[in-house]
Chain A
């Protein structure tokens, strides 16, 4: 029974972030910035592949870690983007950073992502509210990069003010295309606003797709889910073909800290994207 002496080992664990550099920062709105992030180590960078809807844990060293979904296209292998609202400790610090700053990245995480394979050959509708645009933009880009694999494609995007609209220029460009229909709405229009006014729920009625071959993706604040779901139900869209991305306090991202659990599901491991069917069978999900 000779036992080994005390040991202190250092290695890469599930909590160890990879070093990454912020290569570009741009203002999206008065409260949101876009950060382009490149993982430093080439091998790690090449191994970093994500699915639309997945997220990363970003560390500002000395300050903390927070989860952010990835709004850029999975096809871009060199770097990825994050859209960050200046609202918590980590995001406040990020907003003060300059290009060239170092951050830590863990991920990508989440086994539940937008099931783009299943969507192929079907109509796809994306309904986004406010910063809910960030998680779905990855899917939006991914579908547009392989547009012929899908049938009709629509985006409904609602914001409080025109100033809050994310990726404004990109939206304008997309409007020129004839293979995607874009409908935008705001609660408080300004004098220049020419599109719809009110909540995005109002625009669902204009959709002319049959529930048989239509997938719907929804991301926005909890209150939006309640009303969008009522509207989708009225039009008999299938709960198993409706996907929602849920927000929770995901501190570890690897199913251990438990802050994101809803019943027997963990948002970080089993989500963050769930079908409406799954959510209906989970108390307190929305």
Chain B
């Protein structure tokens, strides 16, 4: 509790995992095991030493989990007796964590084929197949999504038409790095050659896309998920019945009194937030800071112009 010591369940899960992996692989070097399980070589050594002294009650030599001592001295782990234990199936929570995350990405509509097939294999392997599922809310053009996926895989640029929240169309050449699904909405993280900077573009705003031949040269942003960093804190006051919308904003803090609810939340995508506020226009009392208010006004004008 609060110490640096690893908690028990994750460690025992890895201990059982080492046994099963070694049973399947025959033998493996300490470095290979460390790499595979994402821990240090020193930790693998401690894990093997713990396994080595564990066994059936009585702890006679034949009752213990055993390894080849000669190989161990050479840094190679060879399992000689597993005592019949090994990795256990996914717990209900683990199943929901893995299937939930993958299904959320797949529901975003821009996931690579591997995410689809991994999800199918996982669902196939668990006993409880519908503990969790994801609902699609984004509307992504499948052809655009396919082009982005192929370009990321082939590491080439994409030429695309992008419409911002105000329907201003721009043609851009981007170096795509990563598809990231944030709250069900897929974005492409890229280097935009037009802007000469990193950009995160909403995939549903890409009107058309075609693969170019130029290779990607800019490295991916060093902070994966840089798009998630809130640019500023919004403060929005609205009539209480609009609470349902305000409470959907990530990390929102709400205060309610006198029939008015005030929401404070971080804004990463200004135009997306403005678009949502538009839907409760008649309930809005105040919107700040100015960049968000301006974007809201801009979108409102665009709607009125379209509707006129």
Partners in one complex: no
Q: Which residues of B contact A (CB under 8 A)?
A: none
